[in-house]
Amino acid sequence: MRLNDFLPPDTAATRGARELVAQFHSPALAHHVQRSWLWAEAFALIEGRSGIDHELLYTAALLHDIGLAPEYDNHVLGYEEAGGFVGEALAAGAGWPAERRRRVNEVIVRHNWPSVDPALDVEGYLLEIATGLDISGRRDEEIPLAFRQEVLTAFPRLDLADEFGTCVQAQSERKPHSHARRLVDGGLIGKLAANPLERL
């Protein structure tokens, strides 16, 4: 398993997602969403998952935290819900049909669920476990060490632990009904600091 084994789809939606990430995310968050896509694709390969909509997965992975950007922060909705609507709008501009637009919204929202049944939503499942790895270090040893090191060299973590923790803490205080509050109450700050990826 090597980095070059995973090439992003080249479509209007994926190019648009990359542009939004470049414009609205810090380097640490930009690297986080790129790594999340790579972990998702790696888990799909390791688990032998088939029928993956790779364009949908890539677009959702890149935009899954766009709701943390001040420009897209919603004063009521959780950041994953706000991000889902950003993804849906981008997909509309890219010409996706209504059902597929709803799918990118669902995948982004579900990445913050405690768990996703792959029988319900395989792309949502892959993004949920991928972000679980990148944020909390869950299931890290299932990804080959050499690949983890290659990904982290290409997309270093920088100050992700501090920045992401601060952003989600602020969301949880302003939106106590949201998944951000559940993440913080569940020990997010400590999990970020203890993530074994921080020490590779």
Nearest C-alpha neighbor of 132 from the set 145, 156, 113, 119: 113
Give per-residue pLDDT as tens, 42-59.
999 999 999 999 999 999
Measured distance CA(10)–CA(20) in Å, rounded? 15
Nearest C-alpha neighbor of 130 from the set 102, 150, 101, 151: 151
Q: Is 11 exposed, middle or buried (0-12, 13-18, 19+ CB in 10 A)?
A: middle
The torsion angle over the Cα atoms of residues 51, 124, 61 and 165, rounded to 10 degrees, is -160
Token pair for 94: 């890219």
Assigned superfamily of 10-199? Hypothetical protein af1432 (1.10.3210.10)
Measured at the alpha carbon of residue 113, what is the angle toward residues 107 and 118, in degrees to the nearest 5? Answer: 60
pLDDT 10s digit of each residue in the chain, 200 long? 999 999 999 999 999 999 999 999 999 999 999 999 999 999 999 999 999 999 999 999 999 999 999 999 998 999 999 999 999 999 999 999 999 999 999 999 999 999 999 999 999 999 999 999 999 999 999 999 999 999 999 999 999 999 999 999 999 999 999 999 999 999 999 999 999 999 98
Q: The dihedral of CA 89, 19, 68, 196: what is its sign?
A: positive
The model carries a pTM of 0.95
Q: Is 41 exposed, middle or buried (0-12, 13-18, 19+ CB in 10 A)?
A: buried
Give per-residue pLDDT as tens, 146-165.
999 999 999 999 999 999 99
The domain ranges of the chain are 10-199
Cβ atoms of 90 and 16 closer than 8 Å = yes
